[in-house]
Chains A and B, each alone.
Chain A
Amino acid sequence: MRSEWLSIISTSFVALVFTLFPSNEWYQNYAPQWLLLTVLYWCIQEPHRVGLIYAWFLGLVLDVGTVGLLGANALLFTLSAALVLGLRQMLHVTGPIQQALFIAGLSIVYLLLSLWMQGGITDGMTVLSYLARAFSNLIAWPFMLFLFYLIRQRLS
């Protein structure tokens, strides 16, 4: 019980650090959405602990941390978590690759909605390169599953 909360909160913290990590432009544009992936992972694995409210709160923290529109990421985090919780019984039994594909598709919708809410796109960046983050999510998901599996094994 205690250890599960510990692993949930510590992984969320590390994901947030990775997101806010001051680094070069390339990383900031193409890195996977660590915090979103972490929240969705815990929604699939621990649905009675991590739910909508947790996702909403982390989205709000992300909004503040990245100096974006307050509430935009919170809304999208909540909707993504709701979708994943709704389809959880299916997602829980599928393999890592299918899960990763589903998460990548979800994050494409996420990114497009986020772009729409931000109101447009700059000249230097095309939609395709903006959506490249979904691809990095796709690649990152199986590794994250493995890593989190190890963490849970160690802590329980």
Chain B
Amino acid sequence: MALFESHRPGITKLMILVLLSVLFMAFDRAGSIWAVRINTALGSMTDGMTRLVQAPAQWGQNLSASFQDNLKKAHTIEQLRQENLLLKGQMQQFFDLQNEVNHLKKLLHGQDGVVPNVLLARLIAVNDSPELQSFTINRGINDGVKPGQPVIDGSGIVGQILRSSLSGAVVVEIDSRRHALSVSLGDTGFVGILNGTGKRNTLIMDRIPERYPVKVGDLLTSSGLDGVFPKGYPVARVSQVHDDKSQAFINIIATPVANLNQVTEVLVLTDPPDAPPPPNLATEAATTQSQPMINLINAGKPQDPLALPPLLPPGFKTLPDATTARPSANGKPAHAQ
């Protein structure tokens, strides 16, 4: 009888499974390729499930869109067309400027920036936890999304790809506790680490030397030093400045520029464009010693990106290939140049 059978688990089996779990945890913390593979394989399943759950909501949206007033639709299309024309006009100017900047950069350093490849992605699920604020998007490995790629919206940086699977990808937001990125502070030239706090729309940056004039409302832009986020994208605005007189340091609290509360569509930068190769030890030493000659010599050399591990935010496991150039046109209609 089933009632009197003992199903006490074997100690060997238990030990093997416990050891396996502990091993996985260690691999995951160490950022091993095996942890990434398991994540991708099982993630394909779970992302597919969230997509399945989200599908009815999507149908509802489509249905309500099809019932919308025709006149309203025509009006919206007209509005969008005008906006498109305006943006295109501005872009022409932009390309011209870009050429000029590239030309000047070539004269200076011998490297130029490329306009990024962006991929439009729709949010399909939000999965927040106290550790990690993240959401799932509907683009995955097949669209060229890889862990470490930056994610932006219309106004600024949203986060970066944490995991990419066959059926979607998980984006970690910049305000989660495990996220940090390198930013430059307004026009002061100070470069520091901007940390997430786990609280909505709150970022902190500690220990800025007092000599830098920081005001509420200053814009923080990505510095490009972390090798993940390209240089010059707006990240956050200073909302509070804590000036501790006894410490000779300033701590600031900043609010992200991107609207993290109402993310519906985001852009993934599938080719992080002008994130420079991580600084070479030699170049850095040269600049601190202010020896312009060594600096010049090093600038002429092709830099080896593997010479120094790039500064990565602490929560991140994989080193993104920011420096390897991929062919820009891979035939995907969603890629805009």
Contact = CB atoms under 8 A, between A and B. Distances in A.
Given A52-B13, A61-B46, A123-B199, A71 B127 contact: no
Contacts of A121: 130
Contact of A68 (B35, B38, B52, B131): B131
Interface in B25-75: 25, 27-29, 35, 38-39, 42-43, 45-46, 49-50, 52-54
A106 interface: no
A124 B24 CA distance: 30
A64 interface: yes
Given A61-B42, A64-B43, A93-B3, A70 B50 contact: no
Interface string A123-144: 1110000000000000000000
A70 B25 CA distance: 5
A25 B128 contact: yes
A22 B127 contact: yes
B297 interface: no
A52 B11 CA distance: 11
B49 A67 contact: no
Interface stretch (B14-22, B238-246, B247-255, B327-335): B14-22
B49 A17 contact: yes
Contacts of B14: 52, 78, 82
Given A20-B127, A71-B28, A64 B21 contact: no
Given A69-B28, A70-B27, A75 B131 contact: no
A125 B20 CA distance: 31
Contacts of B131: 68, 118
Contacts, number: 134
Interface in A44-88: 47-48, 51-53, 56, 59-61, 64-72, 74-75, 78-79, 81-82, 85-86, 88
B163 A67 contact: yes
B55 to A, nearest CB: 12
Size bracket, chain A contacts: 35 or more
B162 interface: yes
A16 interface: yes
A123 B130 CA distance: 10
B199 A71 contact: no
A3 B45 CA distance: 23
A125 B177 CA distance: 14
Contacts of B130: 118, 121-122, 124-125
B289 interface: no
Interface string B258-272: 000000000000000
A16 B22 CA distance: 23
Given A22-B53, A52-B17, A75-B22, A60 B42 contact: yes
A69 B23 CA distance: 12
Given A22-B50, A64-B43, A67-B163, A122 B17 contact: no
Given A65-B49, A66-B129, A56 B17 contact: yes
Kindly list the 3 A-B residue pairs having the minimum CB-CB distance in the complex, ordered from nearest. A71-B24, A47-B7, A75-B21
